[in-house]
A and B are shown apart, each in its own frame.
Chain A
Amino acid sequence: MIREQQVLDRIERMRRRKPVVREERITLAHGAGGKATQTLIEAVFLEAFRNPMLAPLDDGALVRLGDGPVAFTTDSYVVSPLFFPGGDIGDLAVNGTVNDLAMCGARPVHLSAGFILEEGFPVADLRRITASMAAAAAEAQVTIVTGDTKVVQRGKADGCYVTTAGVGVVEQPVTLSASGARPGDAVIVSGPIGAHGAAIMLARDDFGIEAAITSDTAPLHAIVADLIKALPRHVRTLRDATRGGVATVLNEVARASEVAVVLQEDQVPVHPEVTGVCELLGLDPLYVACEGRFVAVVDGEHAGEALDTLRAHPLGAEAAIVGTVAADPPGLVLLRTAFGGTRVVDVLVGDPLPRIC
Chain B
Amino acid sequence: MRFVDEYRDAGRARALAGRIAESCRPGRRYTFMEVCGGHTHTIYKHGLEDHLPSEVNLVHGPGCPVCVIPMGRVDDAIHIARRPDVIMTSFGDMMRVPGGSGSFLDAKAAGADIRMVYSPLDALKIARANPDRRVVFMAIGFETTAPSTAMTVLRAAAEDLGNFSVFCNHVMIIPAIKAILDSPDLRLDGFIGPGHVSAVIGCRPYEFIARDYRKPLVVAGFEPLDILTSVHMLLGQLAEGRCEVENQYTRVVPWDGNRIALSAMGQVMRLRPHFEWRGLGFIAHSALAMADDYAAFDAERVFDLPGLRVADPKSCQCGEVLKGVLKPWECKVFGTACTPETPIGTCMVSSEGACAAYYNFGRFSREQISAAAREPREASRP
Binding site for B on A (CB under 8 A): 1, 3-5, 7-8, 10-11, 14, 22-23, 25-29, 35-36, 39, 186, 206-207, 260, 262, 264, 267, 272, 275-276, 279, 281-282, 300, 303-304, 307, 321, 323-324, 326-329, 332, 334-344, 346, 349-350, 352
Contacts and interface: CB of A to CB of B under 8 A. Distances in A.
Given A1-B367, A323-B379, A341 B372 contact: no
Contact of A341 (B46, B359, B363): B46
A328 B379 contact: no
Interface string B301-338: 00000000000000000000000000001100011100
B373 interface: yes
Interface string B327-369: 0011000111001111000000001000000011111111111
A343 B365 contact: no
Contact of B368 (A11, A28, A300, A328): A328
Contacts of A335: 47
Nearest to A20: B342
A328 B369 contact: yes
A337 B372 contact: no
B9 to A, nearest CB: 8
B366 A342 contact: yes
Contact of B106 (A27, A207, A323, A334): A27
Nearest to B108: A27
Contacts of B379: 186, 264, 300, 303, 321, 323-324
A338 B10 contact: yes
Q: Is the interface of A mostly helix, strand, loop or mixed?
A: mixed
B48 interface: yes
B108 A7 contact: no
Contact of A343 (B4, B10, B362, B374): B362
Nearest to A39: B341
B356 to A, nearest CB: 9
Nearest to B335: A11
Interface of B: 1, 4, 8-10, 13-14, 44-51, 92, 95-96, 105-106, 108-110, 118, 122, 224, 329-330, 334-336, 339-342, 351, 359-369, 371-375, 377-381
Given A207-B118, A323-B379, A344-B361, A339 B46 contact: yes
B368 A329 contact: yes
Most central of A4, A23, A304, A334 by chain B CB within 10 Å? A4
Given A304-B381, A329-B369, A7 B361 contact: no
Given A304-B381, A337-B47, A350-B96, A14 B335 contact: yes
A25 to B, nearest CB: 4
Contacts of A328: 368-369, 371-372
Contacts of B47: 335-337, 339-343
Contact of B14 (A29, A281, A340, A342): A340
B107 to A, nearest CB: 10
Given A262-B373, A346-B363, A350-B95, A307 B341 contact: no
A36 B341 CA distance: 7
Contacts of A35: 340-341
Contacts of B378: 324
A64 B380 CA distance: 39
A334 B363 CA distance: 10
A338 B8 contact: yes
Contacts of A334: 364, 369, 372-373
A171 B277 CA distance: 63
A27 B375 CA distance: 41
